[in-house]
């Protein structure tokens, strides 16, 4: 087995918001497809990237910290010869960015290696880890993915398929999983369907990806979404599917539609750009204002800003130029670096915005750093009025299912009135989209989604230890907790 080893110590707890991509192919060039698939999923994770391939006998893994294009080169892709493979891009904001936490991770089941790539976040990791440790299992990391791998590894079932099914029966929370054995590719989506997972076909070859945009890049056709609770098994006999787990409440993460997924991807056969455009239209209807121009906080606010313009008939303009070579500022680990990050990323078009009454549309406010900096920039550049419009409701509750947005205390909207936030951001007006309008924009029944980050209604119960973690998690930023300032422009 080939691995790149760069071990460092960690005790960090992890939450994963990631991209996964798997291929069952008839030729040996699977690594190349995965490389391109991961490039398309780069927005889902920028901390590390990895590929595992099977040549039918052994599994080779190569992974490292960095963007897909930084991790992989012609040289290290060349030895990854095989016709089945999986890939992963990793994102986390709480866990440290170290090699050991990158995926795919690999383990042994009896005398056979398997590799695993996970997008999501289990809610019963601690409980399972303790049970496993009592059985003598040792862990190298605190990741939930390792817990899943260990459950498979220590299963007493006769074959890997049964071991995987047994492990899946024990885990709770969110998981879109790809597992590679020497001759099979398994794709599993949790019964709530928190994270997306889609099935594609490329001239008879099977592809599984977090999002449809990753199918497009290799000219694969979208076939369907992997159903919540479904396990798909692909091997030399073709594709089999089983509904493994009872589905009592599908609860797809609504934040995928608001922010995370790429606008050119499709969910529920609907284009994400179109959905965000409708969110903008709903926002214009629900939160109108008189202004001269609508601008977005690029890129994530752009579809909703165009929609707001269409709904309000206020012209859309480019007011902020984004440096496309800087990563998502949110992903930068400390508050200090995040603050510089916003300036690195956005610069105002002074001549366009000078003297104008602006509607500024963004998809969400988490800590408020982005909005605060953007507003300051726009006023310094001569904006006459700023009306902030957010195409989602106020974020108030931490996510335990894979989006590591903030601890409860970090949310700007936590314990603040709308007026407090307006003053803090220093804008002339501030409005958020309501949950009902959000649902109208999506055009699907409300009960298909998880809105926990907005309303605290968690579809999978959250154990107390996890809740405490998210509340009191050590965070140096607490000292700099935002002070509500007066409205001084
Ligand atoms: P903040 O400066 O903390 O308010 O960040 C808000 C911006 O970060 C939003 O405008 C989103 O575009 C983006 N964002 C929201 N949630 C997340 C997340 N969980 N991870 C990364 N970026 C996010």
- Nearest C-alpha to atom 18 of ligand 1 is from which residue? 405
Prediction pTM value? 0.90
> In terms of C-beta distances under 8 Å and separation of at least 24 residues, what long-range contacts does 32-37 make, across chains too?
32/77, 33/85, 33/202, 33/207, 33/218, 34/85, 34/86, 34/87, 35/68, 35/72, 35/77, 35/87, 36/217, 36/218, 37/87, 37/207, 37/209, 37/214, 37/217, 37/218
- Looking at ligand 1, which residue's alpha carbon is closest to its atom 9? 364
Cis peptide before 5 (omega within 30 of 0): no
Q: Contact, 227 vs 206, CB < 8 A?
A: no
Is the pLDDT at 40 greater than 50, yes or no? Answer: yes
Pocket-testing residue among 370, 371, 403, 413, ligand 1, by greatest number of atoms within 8 A of Cβ: 370
In whole angstroms, what separates CA 350 from the centre of its chain? 33
Q: Which protein residue's CA is at the shortest distance from atom 11 of ligand 1? A: 364
In this structure, the residue with its CA closest to atom 5 of ligand 1 is 366
- Angle among Cα 51, 341, 255 to the nearest 5 degrees reads 60
Are the folds of 8-250 and 266-458 the same?
Answer: no
Q: What is the DSSP letter of 31?
A: H
Q: Per the residue annotation, which of 18, 213, 287, 453 is the catalytic one?
A: 18
25 is a catalytic site residue:
no
Q: How many CB atoms lie within 10 A of CB 66?
A: 14
**Shortest-distance atom of ligand 1 to CA 369:** 2
pLDDT score, position 460: 94
Quote the ligand 1 centre to 401 CA distance (angstroms): 16
CA–CA separation, 271 vs 285, rounded Å?
A: 21
Compute the radius of gyration of the chain from its Cα atoms.
23
Give the CATH class of 8-250.
alpha beta
Spatial separation of the C-alpha atoms in residues 445 and 435, rounded to whole Å: 12
Ligand 1 pocket by Cβ (under 6 Å): 259, 297, 300, 328, 330, 362-371, 403, 405
Read off the pLDDT of residues 76-128 as tens digits, 9 standing for 90 and up. 999 999 999 999 999 864 446 678 889 999 999 999 999 999 999 999 999 99
Confidence of residue 480 (pLDDT cuts 50, 70, 90): very low
Q: Best substitution site from 332, 335, 364 to test ligand 1's pocket, by max atoms within 8 Å of Cβ?
A: 364
Tell how far the Cα of 97 is from the centroid of ligand 1, in angstroms. Answer: 19
* Domain ranges across the chain: 8-250, 266-458
- 95 or 165: which carries more pLDDT confidence? 165
Which residue's C-alpha comes closest to atom 19 of ligand 1?
405
Is CATH 3.40.50.2020 the classification given to domain 266-458?
yes
| Amino acid 334: pLDDT | 62
Exposure b/e, 327-361, CB count within 10 A at least 16 = b? eebbbbeebeebbebbeebbebeeebbeebbbbbb
Cβ 289 vs Cβ 360: under 8 Å: no
Ligand 1 centroid, distance to 187 Cα (angstroms) = 29
Distance in angstroms (rounded) separating the CA atoms of residues 391 and 296: 11
Report the C-alpha gap between 232 and 188 in whole angstroms.
6
Tens digits of per-residue pLDDT, 174-187? Answer: 999 999 999 999 99
CB 349 within 8 A of CB 296: no
The DSSP code sequence of 107-123 is EEETTEEEEEEEEEEES
DSSP letter at 342 equals H
Confidence of residue 483 (pLDDT cuts 50, 70, 90): very low
User: Across residues 338-367, what is the average pLDDT?
Assistant: 90
Tell me how far the alpha carbon of residue 390 lies from the centroid of ligand 1, in angstroms: 12
pLDDT band (50, 70, 90) for residue 341: low
d(Cα 226, Cα 58) in Å, to the nearest integer? Answer: 27
Nearest CA to ligand 1 atom 10: 364
Beta bridge partners of 61: 52
355 Cα–ligand 1 center, Å:
28
């Amino acid at each position: 087995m080939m691995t790149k080893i760069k071990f460092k110590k960690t005790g960090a707890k992890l939450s994963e918001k990631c991209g996964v991509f798997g291929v069952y192919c008839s030729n040996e060039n699977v690594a190349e497809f995965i490389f391109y698939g991961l490039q398309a999923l780069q927005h889902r994770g920028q901390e590390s990237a990895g590929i595992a391939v099977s040549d039918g006998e052994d599994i080779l893994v190569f992974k490292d910290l960095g963007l897909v294009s930084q991790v992989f080169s012609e040289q290290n892709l060349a030895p990854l010869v095989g016709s089945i493979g999986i890939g992963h891009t990793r994102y986390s904001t709480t866990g440290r960015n170290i090699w050991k936490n990158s995926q795919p991770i690999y383990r042994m089941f009896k005398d056979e290696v398997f590799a695993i790539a996970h997008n999501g976040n289990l809610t019963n990791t601690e409980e399972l880890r303790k049970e496993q440790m009592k059985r003598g299992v040792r862990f190298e990391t605190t990741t939930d993915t390792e817990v899943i791998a260990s459950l498979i590894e220590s299963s007493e079932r006769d074959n890997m398929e049964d071991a995987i099914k047994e492990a899946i029966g024990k885990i709770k929370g969110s998981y879109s999983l790809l597992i590679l054995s020497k001759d099979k590719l398994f794709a599993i989506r949790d019964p709530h369907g928190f994270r997306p997972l889609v099935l594609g076909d490329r001239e008879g070859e099977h592809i599984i990806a977090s999002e449809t945009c990753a199918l497009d890049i290799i000219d694969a056709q979208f076939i369907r979404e992997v159903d919540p609770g479904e396990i798909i098994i692909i091997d030399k006999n073709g594709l089999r599917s089983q509904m493994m787990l009872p589905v009592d409440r599908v609860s797809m993460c609504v934040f995928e539609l608001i922010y995370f997924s790429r606008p050119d991807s499709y969910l529920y056969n609907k284009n994400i750009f179109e959905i965000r455009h409708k969110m903008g239209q709903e926002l214009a209807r629900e939160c109108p204002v008189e202004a001269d121009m609508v601008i977005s906080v690029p890129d994530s606010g752009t579809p909703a800003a165009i929609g707001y313009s269409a709904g309000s008939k206020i012209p859309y303009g480019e007011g902020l130029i984004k440096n496309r070579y800087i990563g998502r500022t949110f992903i930068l680990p400390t508050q200090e670096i995040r603050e510089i990050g916003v300036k690195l990323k956005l610069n105002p078009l002074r001549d366009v915005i000078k003297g104008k009454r602006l509607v500024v549309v963004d998809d969400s406010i988490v800590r408020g750093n982005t909005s605060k900096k953007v507003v300051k920039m726009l006023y310094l550049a001569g904006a006459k009025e700023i009306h902030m419009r957010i195409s989602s409701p106020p974020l108030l509750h931490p996510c335990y299912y894979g989006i590591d947005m903030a601890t409860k205390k970090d949310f700007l909207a936590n314990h603040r009135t709308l007026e407090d936030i307006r003053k803090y951001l220093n804008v002339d007006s501030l409005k958020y989209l309501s949950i009902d309008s959000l649902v109208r924009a999506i055009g699907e029944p409300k009960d298909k989604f998880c809105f926990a980050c907005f309303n605290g209604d968690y579809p999978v119960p959250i154990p107390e230890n996890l809740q405490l973690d998210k509340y009191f998690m050590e965070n140096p930023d607490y000292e700099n907790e935002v002070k509500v300032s007066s409205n001084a422009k």
